Amino acid sequence: MATRRHFIKSGSLYMGVLGMGTLFPMELLGSMRKKISPNDKIQVGLIGCKGMGFSNLSSMLKHSEIEVVALCDVDKSVLEDRTSDLEKANIKKPKWYTDYRKLLEDKDVEVIIIGTPDHWHCLQLIDAIDAKKDVYCEKPIANSIHECKAMLKKVNSSDRMVQIGQWQRSQPHFVDAINFVHSGKLGEIRLVKVWAYQGWMQPVPMLDDTAVPKGVDYDMWLGPAPKRPFNPNRFHFNFRWFWDYAGGLMTDWGVHLMDYALFGMNAGTPKSVMAIGGKFAYPNDASETPDTLQTVYEYDGYSILWEHATGIDGGNYGRDHGIAFIGNNGTLVLNRGGWEVIPENDRPDWSKDLGPKMEAIPLRQNEGNGLDLHTTNFIEAIKSRDSKLLNAPIEVGYNTALVCHMGNIAYKTGNRIYWDASKKAFADSKSNALMAPVYHNGWKLPDV
């Protein structure tokens, strides 16, 4: 058991690195790339180059036909660092932009990768569609339900290829696990548990506001978010823990994992949502989003339970993250390391009507790099101009982000909230008021 737990934990961490892709050696990337005819090249521009945006670009560049022609970032030091990284792969310096709108005007750019903070995704994707670009957009698709609706409407009224960065949709073992769930062998599924226990997450220290760092266009970084003095906590990476820009772990890890809970159950929107949590681990740190949260989604005949906790690795079934489909006959447990089925024990006479005992299925390990498979899928759709090939089209991003934002709204209101699927709205005005953000600094919220 100790050896198995070690494998699960190390496998989980390994797959987290694989998914991010930030450690792929650029020198090795250079050796993989071959000369391609200019007529066969697909020219890419990246908006937001610090984290997953550059991971997505690096993954695409494993295909020799991908040519990066432009980088856009509000931080000049990031542009310098990423250009240096590309030079290690013998890739010439791309054009630099600090205003994404100027990049979208660039006729050399055919495909856009959006790797910016969540509060920027909506405007940048809609503007990219208007500029006739294909788009790979990081998850979650937006920072509010209203923005998600606007993006869905815009993409569906266009002929552009749009892939959302929920790369587990391209991971073979995730697909195999969901096929097993759909087979019905687990019996009636009454509960789906979804969790992310993030032991690596430390407190976000309280830091004083400072002058804007040299080379940073802070006004462009804020965009439609409220005007605030510059604070390092609200900038690179840690923006995730502040409501102005993102939705915490509920929309960070939650979008990846809740996606598969919904996929496995063929679930749409829930009837009601309840959420309880708070800043229990680090009550005095600088972050705003809850470090501990339990959210219950009510569906007909079953419920989905999301939970997260920072500073703790000991999640359900000995895994720090995962999805468990709990059926009458057995439980399928799935995460980035693999999946297995844990059968119910021999049934007493009174419970035999629940279903037969099933055999255990030992851990079936992950194979392949999900991010690489996902970007490959996107490139294939671009070449074929067939959006039906996309593994994570806009609908996948919309459906999952919608449910995750419902969880955050339930947390903020402190109430059990009810969703009217026919009206696509909540039953109470307090929750409905949280569906749309207020845009600032002259930026306009897209109409739905």
Mean pLDDT value of segment 12-19: 39
This model's pTM is above 0.75: yes
pLDDT grade for 4, boundaries at 50, 70 and 90: very low
CA 409 – CA 411 distance, rounded (Å):
5
pLDDT grade for 355, boundaries at 50, 70 and 90: low
Mean pLDDT value of segment 327-336: 96
**pLDDT of amino acid 16:** 43
Mean pLDDT value of segment 414-420: 98
Residue 303 near residue 275, CB atoms below 8 Å: no
91-100, 206-215, 343-352, range with the lowest pLDDT: 343-352
- Residue 82: exposed, middle, or buried by beta-carbon count in 10 A (0-12, 13-18, 19+)? buried
Reduced to 3 states, what is the DSSP secondary structure of residue 137? strand
> Going by C-beta distance under 8 Å and a sequence separation of 6 or more, which residues neighbour residue 70?
44, 45, 46, 94, 95, 96, 97, 103, 106, 108, 109
Give kind and range of the element (H or E) at residue 322.
strand 321-327
Which tokens belong to 372? 């690489």
Residue 421 near residue 299, CB atoms below 8 Å: no
- DSSP category for residue 239: G
- Per-residue pLDDT tens for 237-276? 999 999 999 999 999 999 999 999 999 999 999 999 999 9
pLDDT at 408 over 80: yes
Residues forming a β-bridge with 426:
419
The per-residue pLDDT of the chain, averaged, comes to 93
**pLDDT of amino acid 358:** 87
**pLDDT of amino acid 345:** 77
pLDDT grade for 14, boundaries at 50, 70 and 90: very low
CA 91 – CA 351 distance, rounded (Å):
64
**pLDDT of amino acid 356:** 66
**Rg from Cα positions in the chain:** 22
4-18, 166-180, 204-218, 315-329, range with the lowest pLDDT: 4-18
Domain ranges of the chain: 2-168+372-394, 170-368+398-432
**pLDDT of amino acid 319:** 96
Q: Check residues 8 and 294 and name the one with the higher pLDDT.
A: 294
Mean pLDDT value of segment 382-407: 98
**pLDDT of amino acid 357:** 72
- Domain at 170-368+398-432, CATH class: alpha beta
pLDDT grade for 57, boundaries at 50, 70 and 90: very high
**pLDDT of amino acid 404:** 98
CA 436 – CA 59 distance, rounded (Å):
33
Residue 354 near residue 187, CB atoms below 8 Å: yes
pLDDT at 22 over 90: no
Give kind and range of the element (H or E) at residue 13.
helix 2-20
Tell me: cis bond preceding 348? Omega within 30 of 0 counts: no
Residue 216 near residue 74, CB atoms below 8 Å: yes
Could you count the other beta carbons within 10 Å of the beta carbon of residue 191?
Answer: 14
To which CATH superfamily is domain 2-168+372-394 assigned? NAD(P)-binding Rossmann-like Domain (3.40.50.720)
Helices in 364-414 by DSSP H: which ranges?
A: 370-384, 394-413
Closest by CA position to 101, among listed 218, 217, 224, 220: 220
Residues forming a β-bridge with 114:
47, 137
